[in-house]
Amino acid sequence: MSVIFIMWLRELRRYTRSRAQIIASLGQPLLYLLALGFGMGPVFQKAGQGNYVQFVAPGVVAMTVLFSSIFSGIGLLFDRQFGFLKETLVAPVPRFQVMFGRTLGASTVAVIQGTLVMIVCFIAGFRVVSWVQFPLAFLFMGLIACLFASLGTAIGSALENMQGFQLIMNFLVMPMFFLSGALYPINNLPKLFSIIVSLDPLAYGVDALRTVLIGRSHYGLTLDVEVMAIVALAFLGIGTRMFSRIQV
């Protein structure tokens, strides 16, 4: 347990030491929230969908958690480059504890960033429909973060250098975000496209956040939780296996 705590604390300290990283982490979410939220607002309202800032805010929060958690996992490449990973792996402790501590740390950082973006959303005019359900939003942010931090660890364990990073961004992370329904409703999509969206685990995280924050659901909260929990456990297992096979 001490190893898990140390790795969790290290990930947290690495984030809090850099004010530039904290500020930079707000840049892209603010762009989507302000540019799309207010720019597409009139069109969204004329289509009979209501306030677009209300709709897009949970998606922007989920996007923040996605990018933060998966990039923290891919941070393994930097640890490998500067030798910290080697020092960690030669220690006489189970690698699962090291991986689990990193995942918890990355998840905690992602939830913090998601919370900061949510505060900005409130400033921009976003309002929750039920403060009773509001604490559940942090639970779902944690589930999303754990899921994608585990995936990021698996990816970071498989890559040996940064050359594959752009490939991961263009063909995995960005499509996963744009297919999640974070920026648009998924109620009346074409059947094929609807099937593709339903295969995206982030879609269930976005749906869960929208359910507890604005009372708007597509899949249902029970299915959202079940899918995220199952996929998180699967990615955690895959990440653990990939991490344990890293050569020192």
pLDDT by residue (tens digit) across 119-144? 988 988 889 998 899 999 999 999 99
CB within 8 Å of 202: residues ≥ 6 apart: 62, 66, 144, 148, 176, 177, 179, 180, 182
Q: pLDDT at position 143, please? A: 94
**182, HSE (Cβ side, Cα atoms, 13 Å):** 26
More confident residue, 87 or 68: 68
| Dihedral, CA of residue 133, residue 134, residue 137 and residue 139, to nearest 10 | -70
145 token code pair: 């973060």
Cα gap 127→162, rounded to integer Å: 40
Q: pLDDT at position 26, please? A: 74
CA distances from 121 to 52, 212, 226 (A): 12, 15, 27
More confident residue, 136 or 158: 136
- pLDDT-based confidence at 212, cuts 50/70/90? very high
* Global confidence as pTM: 0.89
Q: pLDDT at position 248, please? A: 58
Cα gap 145→15, rounded to integer Å: 15
What average pLDDT score do residues 222-226 get? 94
Cα gap 208→143, rounded to integer Å: 10
On the question of pLDDT at 226 being above 90, the answer is yes
Pick from 41-50, 97-106, 153-162 the range whose average pLDDT is largest.
Answer: 97-106
Q: pLDDT at position 24, please? A: 67
What average pLDDT score do residues 6-22 get? 67
Number of domains forming the structure of the chain: 1
Q: pLDDT at position 27, please? A: 76
Domain that includes residue 38, residue range? 2-244
What average pLDDT score do residues 34-38 get? 76
